[in-house]
Amino acid sequence: MDITSMTAVEIGKKIKAKEITVADAVEAAIAQIERVEENVHSFVRIDKEGARKRAEEVQKMINDGTLTGPLAGVPVAIKDNLCTKGVETTCSSKILEGFKPTFTAEAVVNLEKAGAVILGKTNMDEFAMGSTTETSYYGETKNPWNLEHVPGGSSGGSCAAVAAGECAYALGSDTGGSIRQPSSFCGVVGIKPTYGTVSRYGLIAYGSSLDQIGPIAKDVTDCATILETIASHDSKDSTSIARESYDFTEGLVAEVKGMKIGVPRDYFTEGLDPEVKEQILKAVKVLEEKGAVVEEFDLSLVQYAIPAYYVIASAEASSNLSRFDGVKYGYRTSEYEGLHNMYKKTRSEGFGPEVKRRIMLGSFVLSSGYYDAYYLKALRTKALIKKAFDKAFASYDAIIAPAAPTTAPKLGESLSDPLKMYLGDIYTIAVNLAGLPGITIPVGKDSKGLPVGMQIIGDCFQEKKIIRAAYTFEQTKSYEAPELAKGDR
């Protein structure tokens, strides 16, 4: 029995049925980590002993009936921007080296209550700024489908870990596509929920008005189950929303008859790799054959999402990251002359180039004389983008889009031209600006054998609809793992 090829829900069921123990699941994950981690480097920190100890505790609670949920005993990996009490949390940055939070992020607390066993913290682009997981201070993560390619980012470590079978599922965060894009590159499923669905308490902020935590797993059932577990109305997060329903697994229905699906013409233009386009349109056809009503339409404003996003996200980031100053936690430069020199040296040595670039841009657009021209203009653009989506969702239940213009690029190709890298987020960013939910599911592979993901976008609070569409498609195609995950067994 190969546990690492199972989905989280399957593992949970087997544990519950006493076919396997929690320790079996955890040891299988650890063995897989030991086998592939050297090549993939999904993790920045692995806590084998902690996981083994926790496995025993969870097993006891399953045995005595305290834990009965679908994820009890299932091993998970957590993105390194989610605080875990007493366990180093760095956002893959030098500036947080050695930082051990004194509390655990609410989403992770919710997982722990459900009996999750945490294996470790996954690699990411430094402070979630990047689309390749190459800006990490702790070295890049590689794509399990082809080690010469990037896994995408910023949740590249989480997605690669799931694809490589190093964990049953993982948590990521998505500010401009950081769950959906790497899920697409790694051939896994990822959901970015409606803004406010999962508490941000304990998520180290990048762009506060855009950040959301979400699940990454092998299939839609897992993702719906995990989302159901981590979502909550949290009084510690003022932007957390009390939703009418958290039963996301109710969306797991293979039925799209009559569902109205919009395909934005302006997303399928010359910027899109023809192979990616072909795979997605094929998947759309499948849904149409299943009874969905598919229609092309013009979403409009597509080219304005990225510039608006970089103004808003960089501005918020410049403020959010100002707390990293060498006074209270993390890195402090060894030699300095006075307070401001300490600040400057600490931050200049502690942050990587991409983070500095965005802090500089964010500080500039907020500075005296530029606020109206840049920041307010971007917020007005955001309002128009939201309106464009509102109009679309008046006609459609879901919108289908690519997750990225290409499949995973080669390592080292993207960082040389930041603007070009930013353009890769064109299909995911608008969703964050408008606060919408989006899911990425694998639909096929390109000629290089790299996975192609399809993004299904829903209206606010309509996760169940996109889960239903994704689940319906998934029934037509079984999960495919990269060769590396299968090993030589």
Using CB under 8 A as the binding rule, the residues of this chain from 355 to 384 that contact other proteins are: 356-357, 359-368, 371, 374-384
Contacts (CB under 8 A) with other proteins, residues 176-205? 195-196, 200-205
Cα(41)–Cα(144) distance, integer angstroms: 10
Contacts (CB under 8 A) with other proteins, residues 50-109? 82-83, 89, 91, 96, 98-103, 105
348 annotated active-site: no
Stretch that binds other proteins, among 118-126, 148-156, 272-280, 339-347 (CB under 8 A): 339-347
Residue type, 248: F
13 or 344: CB nearest other proteins: 344
Task: Measure Cα distances from 120 to 30, 42, 77, 157, 355 in Å.
Answer: 10, 10, 5, 11, 24
447 annotated active-site: no
Stretch that binds other proteins, among 254-262, 267-275, 282-290, 299-307 (CB under 8 A): 299-307
Cα(247)–Cα(464) distance, integer angstroms: 8
Among 163, 460, 466, 467, binds other proteins (CB under 8 A): 460
Residue 126 binds to other proteins (criterion: CB under 8 A): no
Catalytic residue among 131, 136, 154, 314: 154
Nearest Cα residue to 124 out of 168, 87, 154: 154
232 annotated active-site: no
Nearest Cα residue to 38 out of 197, 160, 137: 160
Least spacing, CB of residue 199 vs other proteins, in Å: 9
Stretch that binds other proteins, among 42-50, 346-354, 439-447, 463-471 (CB under 8 A): 346-354
What b/e string do you get for 224-254 counting C-beta neighbours within 10 Å, with b at 16 or more? bbbbbbbbbebeebeebbebeebebbebbee
Q: Which residues pair with 262 in a beta bridge?
A: 295, 399
Least spacing, CB of residue 265 vs other proteins, in Å: 19
201 or 471: CB nearest other proteins: 201
Among 63, 68, 322, 475, binds other proteins (CB under 8 A): 322
Least spacing, CB of residue 344 vs other proteins, in Å: 4
Nearest Cα residue to 119 out of 170, 76, 156: 76
Query: Cβ of 348: how many Cβ atoms within 10 Å?
Result: 10
75: CB partners within 8 A, 6+ apart = 11, 25, 26, 29, 51, 116, 117, 118, 119, 167, 168
Stretch that binds other proteins, among 15-23, 214-222, 230-238, 480-488 (CB under 8 A): 230-238
Catalytic sites, residue numbers: 79, 154, 178
